[in-house]
């Protein structure tokens, strides 16, 4: 099973450029999440979605946008890249809210983004 697939794995952007981090899952999960991990810090939630057509902000949404047109895909858009967005980005999905019952979050391999 593919699980959660993120592309690209690595990217270097110049300040002011834009890009989209792709995330797709083949488990028919309703819930999808984008996290970022800065060096020495825990993962912080950027945006999440509870189903197609529904998205909401997490802890650190500024500078990002998301969409959820299908159950499978949850792309993360950076419109004007800034050095502060240098980080490792993780996409995750779950069948129901994480922590509820036996729900487990499944993560992609991560995208390492550097903004110079």
| Residues near another protein (CB under 8 A) | 3-4, 6, 31, 33, 35, 37, 40-45, 48, 50, 56, 58, 90, 92, 97-100, 104-110
Q: Which is nearer to another protein, 23 or 81 (CB)?
A: 23
Strand pairing report for 10-13 and 111-115: parallel
Residue closest to 83 by CA, chosen among 53, 48, 38: 38
CB of 70 to another protein, least distance (A): 20
Q: Which is nearer to another protein, 43 or 115 (CB)?
A: 43
For residue 60, give Cα distances in angstroms to 24, 35, 47, 68, 79. 21, 9, 8, 18, 15
CB of 28 to another protein, least distance (A): 18
Q: Which is nearer to another protein, 35 or 74 (CB)?
A: 35
Instruction: Determine contact, residues 32/55, Cβ cutoff 8 Å.
Output: no
Residue closest to 21 by CA, chosen among 62, 58, 64: 64
CB of 21 to another protein, least distance (A): 14
């Amino acid at each position: 099973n593919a699980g959660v697939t993120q592309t690209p794995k690595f990217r270097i952007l110049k300040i002011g450029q834009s890009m989209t981090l792709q995330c797709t899952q083949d488990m028919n999960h309703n819930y999808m999440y984008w996290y970022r991990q800065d060096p020495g810090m825990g993962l912080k939630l950027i945006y999440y979605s509870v189903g197609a057509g529904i998205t909401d902000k997490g802890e650190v949404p500024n500078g990002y946008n998301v969409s959820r047109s299908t159950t499978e895909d949850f792309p993360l858009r950076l419109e004007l890249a800034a050095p502060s967005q240098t980080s490792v980005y993780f996409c995750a999905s779950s069948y129901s809210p994480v922590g509820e019952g036996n729900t487990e979050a499944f993560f992609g391999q991560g995208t390492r983004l550097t903004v110079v």
